[in-house]
Structure 1
Amino acid sequence: MQLFYCNYGDLPYLLFIKVDKHLFRAFVQFWNFAYSCFTFGRVDLVPTVEEYTVLLRCPRIQADKVYSRAVNVPTFIKKLMNITGMSEQWVTARIKQKGESKYIPWKNLRDLILAYPDTKKKVDVFALSIYGLVFFPRALGHIDEVVSDLFDRLDRRVTSVPTILAETFRSLDACQRTGEGRFIGCAQLLLAWFHSHFWKVDKVFYRVFSESYSPLKELTATPRRDDITEERWITILQNL
C-alpha cells in the first residue's frame, strides 16, 4: 500500500468514511447557492482548494498545475489501455455505452485488480476506480470516460482538486434548487471537510502540523454517532 500512498495520497481512507444520510441531508439545506457557500446563522463556510489538498495529502499534486480538458485527447479505449495495460480487444469488449456517454463497469476493473500481476498497474486501476466511484459517481457501479481523461493526465502532476470542488458545488446547487436528487459529488470528502472544522486531536492541536498526520485517517478512526435524526442535525447546525 506504500506505493499507493506515494502516488495517490490518502484516497483509500475515503472508502471507510460512512456517509451519515441524516447529517448530509440536513447539511445540504444550509447551502447558499447565491453565494456558493454554507450559511449557518451568521457564519459562512466553504471548502477551499487548499483545504481539500491538505485532506487528500497527495504528494504528486502541484497546486499551480490545474487539470483542464485538452482539445485533442486520446480515445476512451486508448486511455483505458494506457491505465490498465490491457489490450485493445480486452478494453473494447468491456466498454458500455448509454446515449453519448461511455463507461466501463467497476466489476471488470475489480477482477483486473485481483488477477493482475503488475503491482503498479493494480495501484493505478484501484486509484481510477476510486475517482470513478467516489469522487465522480456519475453512473453507479461504473467509471465513465470523463473521469478516465482526468485520471490519465494525473501523470503530468496536475491537481484534480478544483475539478472535484466544481463538481461538488454544482451538485449542491442542483440539490438545493430542486430539494431532492442524487448528489454526484464526493460526499465523503465534503463531510470530512466539515468534521475537520470541529476536530480535537487528543487535545494537542500541534499534531496537525506533522508531515505524518493524516486528517482522513484520523476521521476514519474517530467514532461517530449515527442515531441523530435529520431534524436534530438541522437544530445543531442552526446553532453552530
Structure 2
Amino acid sequence: MKEIWNQWDDEINQLFYCNYGNLPYLFDIKVDKYLFRALAQYWNPTYSCFTFEKVDLVPTVKEYTTLPRCPKIQIDKVYSRAANIPTFLKKLMNITRMSKQWVVARIKQKGDSKYIPWRNLKDLILTYPDAKKRVDVFVLRIYGLVIFPKALGHIDEAVSDLFDRLDKRVTPVPTILVETFRSLNICQRAGEGRFIRCAQLLLAWFYNHF
C-alpha cells in the first residue's frame, strides 16, 4: 500500500486527505506483537480499560476521533448498520464502477461471509482513469486490511457496508473502539492471543500517551 501511495502525485494525495483524512500515516506504524502481548496483560476486561498500577487508561471516542485526522467526520453522526442496505455485489459495483459480471467473478464466500481478494482491487487503484474512484478503492483497502482485518488479503462484506456509509460523513470511531476492545478481551483471555483489529490505531493512541 505504501508503494502505491508514494506513486501518487500531490493532486491525488490532497483528494485523499480532503475526503478521508490522513490514514496513510498508519503505514509507518509497525505492529509489534510482543508489545501487544504486554499491553494485553494490563487490559481489564471487566472495566474495559488498561490498569497500570493505580492508573486507569482507556481510548475514548474524543481521542480516537483525532486519529484519522479527517475534517469531514461528524462526531454526532455515528455509524450504524442500515436496515435496508445494498447487497455486497451492488456495493462493490458502486465503489469500483465495474460491471456486474466482473464483480460476480471475483466474490468469494466462506461460511456465511463474503469477500473479495485484495489482488483483484489492486489493479483498479493503479489503472482506473477516475482519480476519485482510485482513492475510494484504496480507502476500502485500508479499512479492510489495516483497520478491520478479518480474512488475510481479503475485503469482507461488513467493511464494505461501513465504507459505503463513510460518504455520508458518519464517524466509524465507536465501531473501531468496539472492535478494539473485543480484540483486547480475546487477547487477554488467550494470554498470547493475536491482536487482529485496529492495531495501528491503538498503537498511535498508545504512543500519544507514552
Does residue 107 (structure 1) correspond to residue 114 (structure 2)? The answer is: no
Who is 1:92 aligned against? 104
Distance 1:161 1:16 in 2: 21
Does residue 83 (structure 1) correspond to residue 95 (structure 2)? The answer is: yes
Who is 1:54 aligned against? 66
1:43 CA drift (Å): 0.4
Percentage of matched positions with identical amino acids = 78
Once the two structures are superposed, the pairs formed by residues 132-147 of structure 1 within 5 Å of their partners are: 132-147=144-159
1:59 CA drift (Å): 1.3
Distance 1:55 1:16 in 2: 14
Distance 2:104 2:16 in 1: 27
Who is 1:9 aligned against? 21
Does residue 71 (structure 1) correspond to residue 83 (structure 2)? The answer is: yes
1:5 CA drift (Å): 0.6
Who is 1:127 aligned against? 139
SS in 2 for 1:156: coil
1:184 CA drift (Å): 2.3
1:181 CA drift (Å): 3.0
How many residues align? The count is: 198
User: Which residue type is aligned with residue 116 of structure 2?
Assistant: I
**Alpha-carbon deviations, 1:167-222, whole Å to 9, x = none?**
00011111112223332211111011011013xxxxxxxxxxxxxxxxxxxxxxxx
Distance 2:187 2:32 in 1: 17
1:29 CA drift (Å): 1.2
Determine if contact 2:44/2:50 at 8 Å carries over to the other structure: yes
Considering only CA atoms, is the larger Rg found in Structure 1 or Structure 2? 1
Distance 1:102 1:152 in 2: 16
SS in 1 for 2:46: coil
User: Which residue type is aligned with residue 179 of structure 1?
Assistant: G
User: Which residue type is aligned with residue 24 of structure 2?
Assistant: P
Once the two structures are superposed, the pairs formed by residues 165-204 of structure 1 within 5 Å of their partners are: 165-198=177-210
Does residue 161 (structure 1) correspond to residue 161 (structure 2)? The answer is: no
**Alpha-carbon deviations, 1:72-110, whole Å to 9, x = none?**
110000001111111111111110100110000011111
Distance 1:3 1:163 in 2: 25
- What is the TM-score normalised by the length of structure 2? 0.92
User: Which residue type is aligned with residue 72 of structure 1?
Assistant: N
- What is the TM-score normalised by the length of structure 1? 0.81
The counterpart of 1:22, out of the listed 34, 37, 52, is 34
**Aligned-residue RMSD, C-alpha:** 0.9
Q: Which runs of 5+ in 1 are unaligned?
A: 199-240
